[in-house]
Amino acid sequence: MSAALKIDQFSLMDDRECDARITAAKAILGKRLAILGHHYQRNEVFKHADFTGDSLKLSQLAADSDAEFIVFCGVHFMAEVADVLTFGQRSVILPDLAAGCSMADMANLVKVRKCWDEISTLLDPDEHVTPVTYINSAADLKAFCGSHGGIVCTSSNARAVLEWSFARREKVLFFPDQHLGRNTGLKMGIPLDQMVTWDFMKPRGGLTDEQIKNARMILWKGFCSVHQMFQPAHIDNFRKAQPNGLVISHPENAYEVCQKSDFVGSTEYILRTVRASEPGTHWLIGTELNLVNRLADEMKPRGVTVQFMSPTVCMCSTMFRTDPQHLAWCLDNLVAGNVVNRIRVPEAVAEPARKALNLMLEVVD
């Protein structure tokens, strides 16, 4: 083992040199290394991934891998899930520690505990409320759910998870993304007036006793900054230009956008649906730009047009932080015998978080 290489030595490298270093490091490390690339990663990084997919799929691949080093090209909560599901027995590495998630940051343990305590002044939440956290959340919130009979969900299995939750208790506290909760609840037939929004900046969420008592779903006032950009007017303009076109949106979009869409589903659902379309189909897609651009390039030779929903560029700035320079830096350090940016979840947090994650896997199996 030698002294760890500094990121400053890589920050001014051009992408071509980084590519060469990444390729060389992968060859040296061989099966000891697995690089995971989330769909929203920039192409310069995504192309180096051994496995690609959404956050849960990648974490499951990490758990099934024999690799000693798991380099997760994604954001912080994803690397945490990989560490939890691998029982800390792999070195899970996040190339850039600044790669977080603004939605995940909207709910933290202090705020959620305060919400739970405030609800408890009206009713016993452990008897009447199931806490459900979207996988886009910190490990300690997954642990909170695991400790209170709750569960984790993804955008693809949210309905199955909510059905399981309502079979046990009459209410759900859903965080951090209000839109996924609302759009899923509507598909289940829950009326809008039985879904209230908990504003974590206000006492008791800004809700009356009556609103809390009558609610079936208490939705955290969180959102994805990327999907917040998409507006119903974007769909209206597309339909004027392409009367036979189809609109597909991620459920992190606002209710009004999803209501105007022909299809609503997870990232994997979007990919699957568009790839199955006939030549001549014209799609408008409401999700992250890198994924849409890659899908557009893939479908163009097949005569399928793919268009990004917003007329302005709308990238996930935290996803964009993982660049070839950081990837080359962490891989060169592994070659030199140094593990940098390892993500570790303390076992006191990992154990209840794992309970909530495994419960989700059992429910949707």
Per the CB < 8 A criterion, the answer to whether 165 and 151 are in contact is yes
Which token pair is 337?
Answer: 């015998």
Any residues with CB less than 8 A from the CB of 86 and at least 6 apart, and which?
62, 63, 70, 92
- Known binder of ligand: residue 155? yes
pLDDT above 80 for 2: no
Residues making up the chain, counted from first to last: 365
Average pLDDT over residues 149-159: 95
Closest CA to 307 of 294, 292, 290, 287: 292
- Residue range 59-100, pLDDT digits in tens: 888 888 899 999 999 999 999 999 999 998 999 999 999 998
pTM of the prediction? 0.93
Q: What is the mean pLDDT of the chain?
A: 94
The predicted-structure confidence for 3-56, as pLDDT tens digits, reads as follows 789 999 999 999 999 999 999 999 999 999 999 998 888 889 999 999 998 877
Q: State the CB neighbour count (10 A cutoff) for residue 253.
A: 28
Q: How far apart are CA 316 and CA 303, in angstroms?
A: 28
Ranges in the chain annotated CATH 3.40.50.10800: 7-100+318-346, 227-308
For the chain, give the percent of residues with pLDDT over 90. 85
Q: In what order do the strands lie in the sheet with 282-286?
A: 263-264, 246-249, 282-286, 305-308
316 annotated as a binding-site residue: yes
102 is in an annotated binding site: no
User: Measuring CA to CA, which residue among 66, 19, 70 is closest to residue 45?
Assistant: 19
Cβ neighbours around 268 below 10 Å, total: 16
- Do the annotations mark residue 153 as ligand-binding? no
Question: Is 38 known as a binding-site position?
Answer: yes
pLDDT band at 317 (very low <50, low <70, confident <90, very high): low
135 is in an annotated binding site: yes
pLDDT exceeds cutoff 90 at 266: yes
pLDDT score, position 319: 59
pLDDT at residue 342, rounded to an integer: 98
Residue 298 has pLDDT above 70, yes or no: yes
Per-residue pLDDT tens over the stretch 97-147: 999 888 889 999 999 999 999 999 999 999 999 999 999 999 999 999 999
CA distance 25 to 333: 9
Residue 293 assigned ligand-binding role? no
Rg (CA), the chain: 21
Fold annotation for 7-100+318-346: Rossmann fold (3.40.50)
Residue 314: predicted pLDDT:
56
**134 labelled binding-site residue:** yes
Q: How confident is the model at residue 318 (pLDDT cuts 50, 70, 90)?
A: low
Residue 226 has pLDDT above 90, yes or no: no
Cα angle value 346/349/351 (rounded, 5°):
100
- 55 belongs to an annotated ligand binding site: yes
Structure tokens at 146: 């695991």
Task: Using alpha carbons, select from 75, 73, 148 the residue that is nearest to residue 317.
Answer: 75
pLDDT band at 179 (very low <50, low <70, confident <90, very high): very high
Residue 4: what pLDDT?
87
CB atoms within 10 A of CB 316: 25
CATH number of this structure's domain 104-225: 3.40.50
Q: Which amino acid is at 347?
A: E
For the stretch 36-45, pLDDT in tens is 998 888 889 9
- Tens digit of pLDDT for each residue in 304-316? 999 999 887 655 5
* Top-confidence residue, 319 or 251: 251
CATH code reported for the domain at 227-308 = 3.40.50.10800
